[in-house]
Amino acid sequence: MAGKFVLKSSRGGKFRFNLCAGNGQVILTSEAYNTKKSALNGIASVGKNCTNEKCIDRKVAKNGKPYFNLKATNGQVIGKSQMYASPASMEKGVRSVQNNGGSRVDDQT
Query: What pLDDT sits at residue 45?
Result: 96
- Is residue 94 situated within a structural domain? yes
Query: What pLDDT sits at residue 64?
Result: 96
**Count: domains in the chain:** 1
Structural domain for 95, as ranges: 4-101
- Is residue 73 situated within a structural domain? yes
Judged against a pLDDT cut of 70, whether residue 1 lies above it is answered with: no
- Is residue 106 situated within a structural domain? no
| % of the chain residues with pLDDT over 90 | 95
Mean pLDDT of 51-63: 97
Query: What pLDDT sits at residue 11?
Result: 84
Mean pLDDT of 55-67: 97
- Is residue 47 situated within a structural domain? yes
Interatomic CA distance for residues 22 and 96, integer angstroms: 9
Judged against a pLDDT cut of 90, whether residue 21 lies above it is answered with: yes
- Is residue 19 situated within a structural domain? yes
> 69 and 89 in contact (C-beta within 8 Å)?
no
Buried b (16+ CB within 10 A) or exposed e, 60-90: eeeeebbbbbbbeeeeeebbbbeebeeeeeb
- Is residue 107 situated within a structural domain? no
- Is residue 61 situated within a structural domain? yes
| % of the chain residues with pLDDT over 70 | 99
- Is residue 23 situated within a structural domain? yes
Judged against a pLDDT cut of 90, whether residue 89 lies above it is answered with: yes
Q: For Cα atoms 46, 81, 20, give the angle at the middle one, nearest 5 degrees.
A: 65
In CATH, what number is assigned to the domain containing residue 96?
2.30.29.80
